[in-house]
Amino acid sequence: MLRITENPLSAEGAISAVTKRTCGAVATFIGVVREFSRGRQVSYLEYEAYPEMAIAKMRQIEEEIRNKWEIEQIAIHHRVGRLGISEASVVIAVSAAHRQPALEACTYAIERLKQIVPIWKKEVSPDGSYWVGMGS
Amino acid sequence: MRVTVKLFAAARAIVGQGEVSIELKEGSTVGDLMEHFFTRHPELKGIAGSLLLAVNREFAERSVNLQEGDEVGVMPPVSGGTDA
């Protein structure tokens, strides 16, 4: 359920992976590549991960979530490599018996992912490329 | 003792290698290891304040003592997921 992949992501795949008969809700988040970033046009993004540590940190996020909310399953799939405009970089799906824990856990998962999961992106634009997060 | 250093994103671009094996004196810390890199790659020192460090895939401070066979990660602040 926790995955780093170079292949295109499937939201439907993540949803069906977390859906169980006991679930009444599945909350999803899909992060997609936006054409404009901080006023600059983006041609494409290049994502890089520290895969073993990224999976370990995703596991930590799942543990934190299970300590806070009653959820059934969680899937976090992050893509690496070259991604074009509107392609999905991350898909998160959380299932639970009820909607509130599913929605809250899904929000928490993407916020924590952006804090502690070692994945980086390089923005490639018509006038050059740069790594995001270096104070730019 | 020998440790493996994995560098990512901007740190990898500056050093020009994604993985380096380095021989260190016994009792060396993560900070000692970073000095090794800063001497050879002054540009890396320029972003030293924002670098994240990990030992065996867990975030670590510069004061942590290294052991034979440790895997050290040197990386910029993370920027995965989405800007949305």
Query: CA A121 → CA A10, A63, A81, A106, B77, distances in Å?
Result: 20, 26, 9, 22, 11
CATH, range A2-126: 3.90.1170.40
Residue B49 contacts A, CB cutoff 8 Å = no
Nearest CA-CA partner of A116 in A76, A84, A86: A76
Residue A112 contacts B, CB cutoff 8 Å = no
Closest Cα in chain A, distance from residue B52 (Å) = 9
Q: Cβ of B81 and A31 within 8 Å?
A: yes
- Assign B80 a pLDDT band (cuts: 50, 70, 90): confident
User: What is the model's pLDDT at position A37?
Assistant: 83
- pTM of this prediction exceeds 0.90: yes
Residue B81 in domain: no
Give the alpha-carbon dihedral of A14, A16, A17, A18, to 10 degrees. Answer: 90
Domains of chain A by residue range: 2-126
- The partner residue sitting opposite B79, judged by closest CB among A32, A53, A121, is A121
Residue A51 contacts B, CB cutoff 8 Å = no
ipTM value = 0.93
Q: How many CA atoms lie within 13 A of B78 on its CB side?
A: 23
Residue pair B34/B53 in contact (Cβ under 8 Å)? The answer is yes
Report the first-to-last Cα separation within chain B, whole angstroms: 44
Q: What is the CATH number of the domain that holds B69?
A: 3.10.20.30
Residue B10 in domain: yes
Number of domains in chain B: 1
Contact list, B6 vs chain A (CB under 8 Å): 50
What confidence tens digit (pLDDT) does each residue in A70-128 have? 999 999 999 999 999 999 999 999 999 999 999 999 999 999 999 999 999 999 999 89
Nearest CA-CA partner of A45 in A30, A55, A57, A32: A32
Residue A107 contacts B, CB cutoff 8 Å = no
